[in-house]
Structure 1
Amino acid sequence: MAKPGSITKQILECILNHDLVVANLTELNPNVMYELAVRHSTAKPVITIAEFGTKLPFDITTERTIFYSNDMRGVPKLQKELRSSITSVDFEQPEYDNPIYRAQRDFKFKEATTEGKDAYIIEQLDEIKNMQQYINSFFISRSNYNVNNGGIRLIKVSKKFNLGINALVEFLIKNGYNVEANPNAKISQAAYKLIIENFGTKNNDSVDF
């Protein structure tokens, strides 16, 4: 490189930005291994070559590497294999598989899965809450219900058990009933039975619905 400035910076810029990189792993030069990792972090295409006899680190033993003989016969063969590899590269492909890319992809997948589980749990809790409200609606008669809908008015229960309207409403709400603090509001037999169990006796547990 004839350009003045930091050689390391220029090399890294090329590794990061060029469309294709060929890395020779022969002798496992530490700088080359570092530069290969940098290239892998970009998820861009890289072709690795090494002389026969090179023992690759276990991290990249499963990655495709072109092995060659450093002699007159080996050079033409290496050239042929390089041409074949280069022509097979799809430069339109957004990301290329490599150890670093796979690790990053798996991490993002786990992160997304975890977030998905949290969202699913929240969604299910909301559905349970809605279901509970729906069920409660069967036991609570609103103030605009007529007598044909059944139920007993709060004012009647209040007099029967000598309990204030607000006290009755507070008790029912604590037990899952969404009743209005209205003397004319009606409660179901199930709600009335609950009141009897907590405030009533056998002598005053009969009220006409």
Structure 2
Amino acid sequence: MRKYILWLFVVMTLTACGVNEQTADQSSSINQENANDSTEEVTENKSSEIKSDLWSQVDSAYQDKEYRKAYRILFRQKDFRENEEYQSVYNYLSALEYFDSGNINAGRDYLKEIPNDFKGNYDSEIMREKQKYFSEVVLQNHKYPTDKPVIGLTATEVLTSTWGKPQKKNTTTTKNGKREQWVYGSGRYIYLEDGIVTAIQE
């Protein structure tokens, strides 16, 4: 009987140790999962803080019209090549820098690279700028202006061509309609009748 009781005691002790090990393993597993969850939360919060700080820096430079500084901040991001928002805002800021320096064509080239359906930081400003430099028809059709104006273009399309806005407009209105001469300098003129290009002089 003593052997039986001793044997029963040993079995119960070993069983209790096994249960304690399983409980400890489960507790350890649960603690590890909780640690992973909190690490992910910290990582997400840190990532969110970094992005918020990034956009604060970009916005500060943007407000000060330091466009080069702003787009360089974006360009230095390690995921720049994979991030459409970074690239689109980079193109927008580059366009603004070119517009400020008077290089309209280069600025428009950068605007062309931004998708017309872009959603992200500065999306309303980007669309305003695109509408300013491209006619509504061009934006809707995802086509871009011709390099040089051609006969048959509308006045709006001429403005979106590489010639852009004229230095001066001479207008003659008669009972037969309205005629305009757009003066670009360097011997370049565009003649319009009722808003349509009828002649180009270079």
- The answer, yes or no, to whether TM exceeds 0.5 is no
Q: TM-score, normalised by structure 1?
A: 0.32
Q: Which has the larger radius of gyration?
A: 1
Identify the structure with the greater helix proportion. Answer: 2
Q: Which has the higher contact order (CA 8 A, sep 6+)?
A: 1
